[in-house]
Structure 1
Amino acid sequence: MSAPETAPARIKPGGFRELGPLNWLIAKLGAKAIRAPRFALFNVLGQHHLLFLAWLPYSGMLLGLGKLPKIESELVILRVGHLRNCEYELQQHRRLARSRGLDPATQARIFEGPDAEGLTDRQRVLITATDEFVITRSMSAETWSALATHLSRKQLIEFCMLASNYDGLAATITTLRIPLDFPD
């Protein structure tokens, strides 16, 4: 369960002094990319200078440079955010998912679950696999087999890394109570 909207941030988003010049610049560029005054996630995580610089390319690789189609990466991320009730993750990725082809109706079906009307077989398998991975920290033989009919070996590995990265990120965001970037 996420922290209440009114709960204060446990680590407030930092500025130039807390982030240092490089992480401050990255946070500013990130804010510009998401069209927000600040990118609170970067303004908090960037306060751990080296960890942020190590995490950023890894997360970026999973988000946009991996073997999974971007639209499917967003499906997985949205499902993780939904399962973890992480409004920050959902707020960021509802927008990004729309820009990658997941319209609001499809997003609603993702939130409804694998039995929602109008999903493709592949989408159903991805949602089921995400649910099992996040909830049980594993996957049944049946679900793995179904997922393996849709994904290559490299995509299977990436699926696990993507789901675990965003699950851990949701836990971090919720625990640190990172404030939303957008008023909606």
Structure 2
Amino acid sequence: MTKTLQEQAASPGGGHGGMPKGLPPGNWHLSGASHIAPLPHGERSASVRFFLKVIRKVTREDFDYTVFTTLARLGRIFPVHAYFVSRLLYKGRIPIADKERVILRVAHHMGCAYEWAHHSVMAQDQGVTRLEIESIARTVDDGWTSRTCALFNATDDLLDGGKLTADTWHALREHLDDNQVVELCMLVGHYVMGAMIINTSGCEIEPRYLASLGESWTAGHPQD
């Protein structure tokens, strides 16, 4: 059986620096308890069941993501939100690979292990390497392009102060136009919201993504 993140953290060889495998150093929320359980099957409306089925088809999974069965508690808001997040992530004017980089930056800042696990996989699907994914948790990295630096500085400004400083704005505008800057602000804000819900409810990472998390770490850091 795949260990939960909390079990990995507690095991002697669980991870790098006492953290579960696959998580870079950070202030991760690993409470060990689910405060809000996913909506029970018997309480899911026809529209909720339909949208969960659509999500399974789009993601090519044979199981429901914990985050979506938890968000199903939003009732009539859930289908609207599911549509919104799919458009925000897969449409728009910012390339998806850049969006995944930004989401991982937000996940690390918020200590959201669930977001990190899922979007590490999704970022690799968009061509982001494992080494680059690991670097996203750092303050700076020599391997980042000027575009990536601008995106991360903008993300950090939004997370820390709720707006862009003048220097960050000018650097970002070399890579994004006005429409894209608006989209970036919405992307960061949405995944902060998602991280708050996930961290508060205690969404458990599905075994497939937990396994991928461990593989991504051991690939970059061979174990003794």
TM-score under structure 2 normalisation?
Answer: 0.76
Q: Secondary structure at the match of 1:138?
A: coil
1:143 partnered with 2:168: yes
What does residue 55 of structure 1 align with? Answer: 81
| Aligned sequence identity (%) | 27
1:14 partnered with 2:63: no
1:93 partnered with 2:119: yes
What does residue 106 of structure 2 align with? Answer: 80
Question: Which amino acid is 1:66 matched to?
Answer: G
Structure 1 residue ranges without an equivalent (≥5): none
Provide the aligned length of Structure 1 versus Structure 2. Answer: 182
CA drift at 1:48: 1.7
**What RMSD in Å do the two structures reach over aligned CA positions?**
1.7
1:154 partnered with 2:183: no
More helix by share: 1
In 2, Cα distance between equivalents of 1:79 and 1:58: 21
What does residue 65 of structure 1 align with? Answer: 91
What does residue 123 of structure 1 align with? Answer: 148
CA drift at 1:54: 2.0
Q: Relative to 1, partners in 2 of residues 1:36 and 1:87: Cα closer, same or farther, differing over 3 Å?
A: farther
1:178 partnered with 2:210: no
Please say if residues 36 and 181 of structure 1, whose CA atoms lie closer than 8 Å, have aligned partners that are also in contact.
no
